[in-house]
Amino acid sequence: MLELSAFDLSLLLACALFAGLVDSIIGGGGMIQVPALFAVLPGFPPATLLSVNKFGSIVGTIGSAIQYSRVNKSPWGLVIVSSAFAFFASVAGAYLVTQLPTQWLRGALPFLLLALLIFNIKSSAGLIHAPKHQHHKQKAIASTGAGVIGFYDGFLGPGAGAFYKLFYTRVLGFDFLRSAAPAKFLNIASNLGALCVFFYLGYFDWKLGLLMASANLVGGQIGTKIAIKHGNAFIRKGFFILVTILIIKTFYDAFLR
């Protein structure tokens, strides 16, 4: 078993549970889970900790996605096709991140997020379910967006779950609750793509992965029930709070660290 003190073990489990809760409602659980892993286990290879985060997120997100899909019927044809694009794009992004510097993207990210935040505060996107596209056009647009965000998730990753939800609400016209399951399945696909690359390169720890995944799953189930109970307005407020935190964090990582 991992050589962890009772305090460190409790801290990791608490952070994983809270990350799963936050991620199930608005996305962005990695902002909680990744720093916790790096703080408690500084001697582990970074790639191993990132792969453990991906694994825990996948397990927790699967639980949330199932819960959301029971409440609102998911457009499975759309989800399956766009998930395939997210998966393969993430594989490409995860491989490319081992070959190229990411500093230019880190520098641009906070300003992109700020523009998206301002753009969405001025709209009612996510409160009303009014799909903007149908059939083949909807699949083409969804697959393109999934590919772009999936590549980003493999290449860099912070806030990818929030980007998926933003894409479904703003571009496709879904409300927050009906976008939840599709966004979760896309996030699972892109996390899985990146995780396959880490597996192939030998960066993973099963004991740590299962530990984090179990707590992530519990947190995800709690968060999903909260989101379903309180509805679109609650999720929208949480989404704006998350994006604001993402802007601060990505700006700090790019320019102040």
For residue range 206-233, list pLDDT tens digits in order: 999 999 999 999 999 999 999 888 877 7
Using CA atoms, how far apart are residues 42 and 34, in angstroms rounded to an integer? 11
For residue range 35-89, list pLDDT tens digits in order: 888 888 888 888 888 889 999 999 999 999 999 998 888 889 999 999 999 999 9
Token pair 């457009």 in the structure block, residue: 75
Residue 115 has pLDDT above 80, yes or no: no
Of 51-55, 88-92, 132-136, 239-243, which one has max mean pLDDT?
88-92
Cα distances from 5 to residues 9, 11, 12, 50, in angstroms, run: 6, 10, 11, 21
Percent of the chain with pLDDT strictly greater than 70: 91
Burial code of 133-143, b = ≥16 C-beta within 10 A, e = fewer?
eeeeebbebbb
Q: CB atoms < 10 A from the CB of 23, how many?
A: 30
Average pLDDT, the chain: 85
Using CA atoms, how far apart are residues 190 and 88, in angstroms rounded to an integer? 8
What is the helix (H) or strand (E) element at residue 126, kind and residue range?
A: none
Residue 94 has pLDDT above 90, yes or no: no
Name the burial class of residue 123, with classes exposed (0-12), middle (13-18) and buried (19+) by CB atoms within 10 angstroms of its CB: exposed
201 — pLDDT class (breaks 50, 70, 90): confident
Q: The whole model's pTM is what?
A: 0.82
Tokens describing residue 188: 């699972």
Phi and psi, residue 221, nearest 5°: -65, -40
For residue range 140-164, list pLDDT tens digits in order: 999 999 999 999 888 877 778 888 9
DSSP 144: H
Using CA atoms, how far apart are residues 30 and 20, in angstroms rounded to an integer? 9
What integer pLDDT is reported at residue 2 of this predicted model?
63
